[in-house]
Amino acid sequence: MTKIINQQGVGLVEVLVALLLLAVAVLGFSALNMVSIKATDDSVLIANANTVMRGLSEDLRLNSNNILAYQKDIQSVLSKVSASKNYCAVVEDYKTSTVTKNCDSESCTEEQLGQYNSWSTMKQACENGVLLNMITCPGTADKQLRQCIITSWNGTEPVFGVSSASSKACADELGIYHAGSDCLIMESY
């Protein structure tokens, strides 16, 4: 009886091939898991941004005589954000320098209510990791004036303009989203 000896070591090669296939599968699963986590994070930011925008829109309807004051206050805070001063710090400075009353518990004038609501909305945006801006919507100046409430995150600026390597605008001058921008726009009137 003759024994066949050519089969030695084949088990080791099979184990190595199986480990290679397992490694490829695990890497693929890990990449899929990372995409899933990013999608979940984005959906949370989108939900939070929607909440901030809806709240501001309701405040604008309740205090419609001060819409332009809201816009001015929100834009002035955003314009003070810099590399050395983040959005939350500027929002806190706005509260200290501008908000004189707590309109949730005290009587306020329309102007004081506008300042308090502006601060409250900007604070909520800060707590939710989004930037807030409010501009007059493109193409509405000669019609019923509409406000575009813009929230952004992940380095996208809440502005309409040209995107470049140094600044990533949410949308172009007509309000059309730039590809890859992380932002939401809501019209309010």
Indicate whether 130 pLDDT > 90.
yes
- The pLDDT of residue 131 is 94
DSSP 177: B
Secondary structure element (H or E) that encloses residue 185, with its range: strand 183-188
Indicate whether 70 pLDDT > 60.
yes
How far, CA to CA in Å, does 49 sit from each of 26, 36, 43, 87, 134?
34, 20, 10, 15, 13
pLDDT, average across residues 7-32: 81
Of 60-69, 124-133, 160-169, highest mean pLDDT: 124-133
Indicate whether 108 pLDDT > 60.
yes
Indicate whether 12 pLDDT > 80.
no
pTM above threshold 0.85:
no
